[in-house]
């Protein structure tokens, strides 16, 4: 058994509230650590969050992400075991999927397969749910494949929507579930991974 910690890389495009919760959750772990934060947005607040935890970060553009192996090399140099998408809005290119088979996960703010697919993220998801007068929603954690929100589902958690719930309330309920369950699911997946 290796005594090295399992290492996570988090990809985020924006504020990074899920990234924050994951960094907090594993801050004092003996077995798992966040090793790298990556973003396609030089203004993303997640970079500040990474700084606060003294975790290295990397900003990339579409060219580097989709046309080179730079990101794969960077992940390998940081001994990354699992890639976690936390509000990351680009499709993952095939070379990265091949390098990390069943080792890239995402969280989506609905009960997939409902309200998934290209362009369905953040408030857009919740607004559709409200428009259709749904009585429940939730979050889905799933493996990532070459299509938006179509990978195998790992975990789902539900919440009720009442007729008085506005957008902010639905968002809040969803985020509570995300922040509670995402770090625990990540921990469970990493514990299942064999040490080399």
Active-site positions read 108
Nearest to 183 by CA among 40, 63, 78, 29: 29
Q: DSSP string of 52-119?
A: HTT--EEE--HHHHHH-SHHHHHHHHTT--EEEESS--SPPPHHHHHHSTT-EEEEESS-TTTT-STT
Angle at the Cα of 17 from the Cα atoms of 15 and 23, rounded to 5 degrees: 115
Provide the token pair at 47.
């970079």
> Chain centroid to CA 131: how far?
26
Q: Are 59 and 40 in contact (CB under 8 A)?
A: yes
Q: What Å distances lie between residue 181 and 8, 62, 156, CA to CA?
A: 16, 30, 9
The β-bridge relationship of strands 6-11 and 82-85 is: parallel
């Amino acid at each position: 058994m290796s005594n090295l910690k399992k290492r996570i890389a988090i990809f985020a495009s924006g504020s990074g509230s899920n990234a924050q919760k994951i960094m907090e959750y594993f801050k004092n772990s003996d077995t798992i650590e966040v090793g790298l934060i990556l973003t396609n947005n030089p203004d993303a607040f997640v970079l500040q969050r990474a700084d606060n935890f003294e975790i290295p970060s990397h900003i990339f553009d579409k060219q580097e992400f989709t046309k080179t192996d730079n990101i794969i090399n960077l992940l390998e140099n940081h001994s990354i075991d699992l890639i976690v998408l936390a509000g990351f809005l680009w499709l993952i290119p095939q070379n990265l999927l091949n390098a990390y088979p069943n080792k890239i996960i995402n969280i989506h703010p609905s009960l997939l397969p409902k309200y998934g697919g290209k362009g369905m993220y953040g408030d857009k998801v919740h607004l559709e749910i409200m428009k259709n007068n749904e009585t429940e929603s939730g979050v889905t954690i799933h493996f990532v494949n070459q299509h938006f929100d179509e990978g195998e589902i790992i975990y789902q958690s539900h919440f009720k929507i009442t007729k008085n719930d506005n957008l902010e309330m639905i968002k809040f309920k969803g985020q509570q579930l995300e922040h509670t369950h995402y770090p625990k699911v990540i921990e469970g997946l990493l514990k299942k991974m064999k040490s080399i």
